[in-house]
Structure 1
Amino acid sequence: MTRPSHTPLRLFLILTLLFLALPKLQAQQTSAGRWQFGGGIGANFGSGFTNITLAPGAIYNFNQYVAAGVGLQGSYVRSRNYYESYIYGGSLLGLFTPIPQVQLSAELEQLRVNTTYDLGYQPFVNGTTSRERNFWNTALYLGAGYRVQNVTIGVRYNVLFDDDDGVYSEPFMPFIRVYF
């Protein structure tokens, strides 16, 4: 089988550049005071395992209680001799802060998953050495967190979770949300 195109890698690089440009964008918007920018960067390396994620985001504060925003996500995951995966997409986020210390959220996430599994040499299957699985994954998270200034720490639950979705192993996911 053919290897996946380098389009996901290019998207990941573009997202990286966008994330690096966010401080400049944030500085230009501080006069309005309603825009906040943030997101996350993640890297996990182990014995034959690599996971790199970049997830920039922006929210608009309608008032002290309600905000809405968008986010992008790009991930590269590889387990040597088993699989390689490019995951990319976006999300829509709604935030409600009834009191300054509590933040409730709803987030709709749509991800494209392109995975190539390394099957090794199989002489009775025409020498096939890999198999591809490409699909879209939709998640709807409802969450709650404890908020201190620009940082919220909490947990969210994917109400659309499916054991066979191939992206996340559990419906509950802890989060740290930072916006400046």
Structure 2
Amino acid sequence: MRRTAWLGCILLALAACGEETTGTPSSAATSTTAPAEETTTLPATTLPATTTTAAPPPDPCDLLSPEEVASATGLEVAEVQPDPPLYCIFDFGPDAGVSLFVAVDDGQGRLAGPEAVFAAYLELLDEGEAEEIDGLGEAALYAPDFRGLAVDAGGGRLIALGVNGGRRSLADPRDALVKLAATALERL
């Protein structure tokens, strides 16, 4: 049951990969003028500012080159589709029917972010449906049913790599994802 729930959660998250929402705090003051010469000014309202001490995450498209992705998968990259701030998608074209994504956690706790994927894979590991990958970051988990790899790079940095579609063209992406994750970790 948990596996089905996570599958639904991840599918929902992947479907929303390209959606971005931004909010702008309101900083306008409201003034009201009373009869005669009396003026009342209400205080400005702003959302609390958030400060981050850590550097912003790197652009996911800077972590791997199309040539590195092609070398690891054996498939030529037809197009690189930046989807900031989290994702970079390497599309192998309509004939292959598959794409590979790289995601970098931005510390915002997003549903489809690597932190959420890593947590989901930990549950799958407990259920025997994911495997630990030794020698990759502080911890790395591969979930074959989801064809994805989540890596704890240490220092609060997480990345995820995965494959969408194309079981015919890229049936078992495990080794390719591990190789690509090792390269991406060097550039974090």
Please give the TM-score of this superposition, normalised by the length of structure 1.
0.34
Please give the TM-score of this superposition, normalised by the length of structure 2.
0.33
Task: Answer 1 or 2: which has greater helix percent.
Answer: 2
| Higher radius of gyration, 1 or 2 | 2
Task: Answer 1 or 2: which has greater strand percent.
Answer: 1
